[in-house]
Amino acid sequence: MAVVSIARLDEETYTRLSARAARHGITVEEEARIILKTAVADAAPSRLGDLALGLFGAEHGIDLDLPRREPHQPMSFPE
């Protein structure tokens, strides 16, 4: 198991982390482990639309009827 020490963590962040841990009935260290594990568990989607579907898709009770759009050519800029 790896050990991580976080230097220069401001007092407000630590206080909020501590309160969050208390609400969950766990230690500050366990709360930090859960937050870090969750943050790095899923790779970010490569497209914004995929992120939106993951957050607001039909499996979340939202069914959007969006118009079909044709792909467009990316803009080109002079060098």
- Torsion sign, CA atoms 2, 36, 11, 7: positive
Query: Which has more pLDDT, 43 or 2?
Result: 2
pLDDT single digits (tens) 58-74: 777 777 777 888 888 88
Is the predicted pLDDT of residue 9 greater than 90, yes or no?
A: yes
Query: Can you give the pLDDT at residue 45?
Result: 66
Query: Can you give the pLDDT at residue 38?
Result: 82
> What pTM value is reported for the model?
0.53
pLDDT single digits (tens) 26-51: 999 999 999 998 888 766 667 787 77
SS3 content of the chain, % helix, strand, coil (to 5): 50, 0, 50
